[in-house]
Structure 1
Amino acid sequence: MKNHYRQVLGQYPTGVSAVTARGADGTPFGLTVGSFTSVSMDPPIVGFLPAKSSTSWPKVRATGAFCVNVLAYDQEHVCRALSAKVEDKFAGLGWRPGPTGSPVLEGVLAWIDCRIRSVVEAGDHFIVLGDVVDLQLGSPSLPLVFFRGGYGRFSPGPLVAESVQNSGMLRLVNAVRDQMQMLSAELGVEASATGIVGGRPVLVASTWSPFSDRAAVRAGDRVPFRPPLAVPIAAWGTREQREEWLANAGPALEPDQRKRLEDILDATRERGWAISVRPDPPEHAISRMIEANDRLDEIGLGRFHPAAGTLGTRGIDARNLSAPIFAPDGSVVMSLSVSGMSSPQAGGRIEDVAGRLVEAAREAERVTYGGIR
């Protein structure tokens, strides 16, 4: 029965965490667990299940506090060190004390420092709940995973927001996800999709890796509906949506900047795709967006010119390109975007990347709706 139990439960992959604490004399100790879980957001409570046979858990319990260190894929050695039957499990491991004094290990994906809330017996394990004192992101990387009795790493495909529940939107997101994977593989770019959920722009899917400078933005997060973001939704949206997008630029928007943004939306519709910039720093985002679109005119990819332009030439910020995806009634329901085109794999030319992006948007429409344009 025990072997069968392990085989069946081994089909469920888990993350690997190091639970650490420090004694009154400053000695660090810890154990590895695959049972760490979030329990409550309000108030913030987490939990894990140490085995009753653990020799380290009684030491952790005695301190009244612990720190959960979420291990990265290249930290298997940390896991094995804390599982070893040796006196000093922290030999060779870098760490610093967290707010409770418990060790925060170097190189972890994240850490959650806690005080013990309760301990309940459950068969051959304990259920430990902890009140979160502090928590922070660590090094951007992929997580260490335990699966079928061995260690590995999680390699994500396009991540889809849990908040996407509408069946029609789900069909479209699934079609877009396939296109995002192909765009990423072919062009060496990162891809994302912003959809209209509950009347507001939401990041519904992305291929952003933990190493991306956008990794802090999660699938399901709202996308601010203002320049320089969500350009296709403003360009192909209703008059009310366009006005809202412009108004959200804020009171500091100069009249000539507003006029230039209106021209950019018109040019975007004629061209069939949009170029934009990162929103940081926000005080310069609109001027950088205008500059990037002015450069399109200079190199022949502006409002009226179909000629090619070199990607990134003379300082143009071409890292963000996006194309609209339309519903059968012609309304824009999603924006498909690519970023990170500075790499050689991007093809080297704005029109090549934009052309492939528009093809992907049309293919997603065809798969979802049977071809509408």
Structure 2
Amino acid sequence: MSEEFTSQQFRQVLGQYPTGVVVVSALIPGEPPAALTIGSFNSVSLEPPLVAFYPSATSSTWPRIQAQGRFCINVLSAEQEVLCRAFAQKGANKFDGVSWRPAPGGAPIIDGAVAWIDCEMESVQVLGDHHLVVGRVTALDTQSRDLPLLFFRGGYGRFLPSSLAASDASVAEFLPVINVIRPELERVAAASASECLLATRVRDEFVVLAGAGSSTSRYRNPPWMEESTLRGGGPTRVGRRLPYLAPMGAVMAAWGSAADVPRWISPDAGIDPAVMDRWGDFLTTVRSRGYALGRGDIPYAALENAIDNRTGGVWDANLLRALDDVREAVLEQPPLDGSRSSYDVRSLSVPIFAPRGSVLQMGLYGLGDDMSLFKIRRCIDRLLKASWSCTQLLGGAMPEGFPRPESQDDGYQSDS
């Protein structure tokens, strides 16, 4: 192995490490805002909160930003590659035609960025042909659930693995479970050509822990919704937090504590007895079948839109209204008796019984509104097989009388 290398080799080898892409912006008094594209941004310290990046020593834009003493880091989304390239060019007004709003310190926050981090200059040091800039964070926030833009091997791209897992302190205890169950998620997703998700309940929230595959269908566009508000079928649902409210987590409610059911049906006191009876019948059907079925093309599209555009957190008012429509659609469970040529099935989910009475949910999401009975049955068999398998892998116990798969095959034969 030679200890000598060229600049080209240096760039090629270091290019094997993917980095995020940010735009560093600053407000310049009496001039257009300044900005430059950076592919070497990272966090430095939590206490105090410090971040760093490395602008080129030959940059003509960096001295203008440095002179202001503060700047804003814009984490670009995977949809902003064109914008990224524009900010990387030399120009008098890089913000011409770009929508933005001021951060608390005044620097531009670019519309559509995944996140922004407002900073005061902490220190600047010359390192070779670059500067090391350290900023003290004064404010920050996320403003989009989009995937970030990446720079890798000399090109731009996005993070689209076949399997993702949520990372959060409140779900850290589930990480070993995810590792055990992930192979089953991937097998079910691959055989069904759809997205397979693992979810749990964390207090009053329904949390998507992990996923595999991606949705092959696309929600039909309701007349009142613009095409641009609907995103494709990429696996972006991992990490989602939704209210633990019917019908979210139906199989967890069906095999969970009976005392939790009224709260799951409605967060308000005084539930209408007729409504309670309808949901009671629904949960009885779920327990007898071994799975929950979600339906309703337009309600599910509206729910996706409400999730993507919520501004009020997990219990966003628009999200709750969208859930109401989905609830009504889910309550009308179609009999799978072959009386129709096709069925509208948006989701299928089964329980996984972990030790100590804990129930998780595995399900296929983003299915079609014209599924054949044969395909639905195959998906159900795969999920029921996975329910038995995952429960055994986790050391749990299946409830007495829980349904078994109907087919005798391995349950993972592909539909393709």
TM bin, normalised by shorter chain, reads 0.7 to 0.9
Distance in 2, matches of 1:366 and 1:235, equals 20
Task: Map Cα deviations across residues 157-213 of structure 1 (whole Å, 9 max, x no partner).
Answer: 2311234556751343312331353266x2xx4432114679986421135799369
Residue-pair matches, total: 347
Aligned partner letter, 1:319: R
Compute the RMSD of aligned alpha carbons. 4.0
Q: Tell me the TM-score normalized by structure 1.
A: 0.74
Distance in 1, matches of 2:165 and 2:138, equals 28
Aligned partner letter, 1:231: A
2:17 is aligned with 1:12:
yes
Q: CA deviation at 1:33?
A: 0.9
Distance in 1, matches of 2:106 and 2:31, equals 9
Whether the 8 Å contact between 2:50 and 2:134 is mirrored in structure 1 is no
Distance in 2, matches of 1:354 and 1:68, equals 50
Distance in 1, matches of 2:274 and 2:107, equals 56
Aligned counterpart, 2:363: 337
User: Which residue of 118, 122, 146 maps to 1:114?
Assistant: 118
Aligned counterpart, 1:26: 31
Please show how residues 1-373 of structure 1 align to structure 2 within 5 Å. Answer: 1=5, 3=7, 5-38=10-43, 46-84=51-89, 86-88=90-92, 90=94, 93-99=97-103, 100-105=105-110, 108-121=112-125, 123-124=127-128, 125-138=131-144, 141-162=146-167, 163-164=171-172, 169-179=177-187, 181-182=189-190, 186=193, 189-195=194-200, 202-206=207-211, 211=231, 218-219=238-239, 224-237=243-256, 241-248=257-264, 249-250=266-267, 251-276=269-294, 281-282=319-320, 285=323, 289-293=327-331, 295-296=332-333, 299-301=334-336, 306-307=337-338, 309=340, 310-312=342-344, 318-327=345-354, 333-342=359-368, 347-349=370-372, 352-353=375-376, 355-363=378-386, 365-366=388-389, 369=392
Aligned partner letter, 1:246: P
Report the secondary structure of 1:174's partner residue: helix
| 360-369 or 22-31, which deviates more | 360-369
Report the secondary structure of 2:94's partner residue: coil
| 114-123 or 89-98, which deviates more | 89-98
Whether the 8 Å contact between 1:176 and 1:364 is mirrored in structure 2 is no
Q: Tell me the TM-score normalized by structure 2.
A: 0.68
| 192-201 or 142-151, which deviates more | 192-201
Q: CA deviation at 1:114?
A: 1.3
Aligned partner letter, 1:325: I
| 57 and 44 in structure 1: CA distance in 2 versus 1, 3 angstrom threshold | same
Q: CA deviation at 1:67?
A: 2.5
Task: Map Cα deviations across residues 138-174 of structure 1 (whole Å, 9 max, x no partner).
Answer: 5x65433211233333323231123455675134331
Report the secondary structure of 1:25's partner residue: coil
Distance in 2, matches of 1:17 and 1:332, equals 41
Q: CA deviation at 1:287?
A: 7.5
Unaligned stretches of 5+ in structure 2? 216-229, 304-317, 399-403, 405-416
Distance in 2, matches of 1:87 and 1:33, equals 16
Distance in 2, matches of 1:42 and 1:252, equals 47
Report the secondary structure of 2:123's partner residue: strand
Distance in 1, matches of 2:357 and 2:141, equals 42
Whether the 8 Å contact between 2:16 and 2:152 is mirrored in structure 1 is yes
| 196 and 141 in structure 1: CA distance in 2 versus 1, 3 angstrom threshold | closer
| 152 and 76 in structure 1: CA distance in 2 versus 1, 3 angstrom threshold | same
Aligned partner letter, 1:266: T
| 355 and 258 in structure 1: CA distance in 2 versus 1, 3 angstrom threshold | farther
Whether the 8 Å contact between 2:38 and 2:54 is mirrored in structure 1 is yes
| 109 and 308 in structure 1: CA distance in 2 versus 1, 3 angstrom threshold | farther
Q: CA deviation at 1:81?
A: 3.1
| 225 and 155 in structure 1: CA distance in 2 versus 1, 3 angstrom threshold | closer
Aligned partner letter, 2:120: I
Distance in 2, matches of 1:284 and 1:200, equals 16
Report the secondary structure of 1:55's partner residue: coil
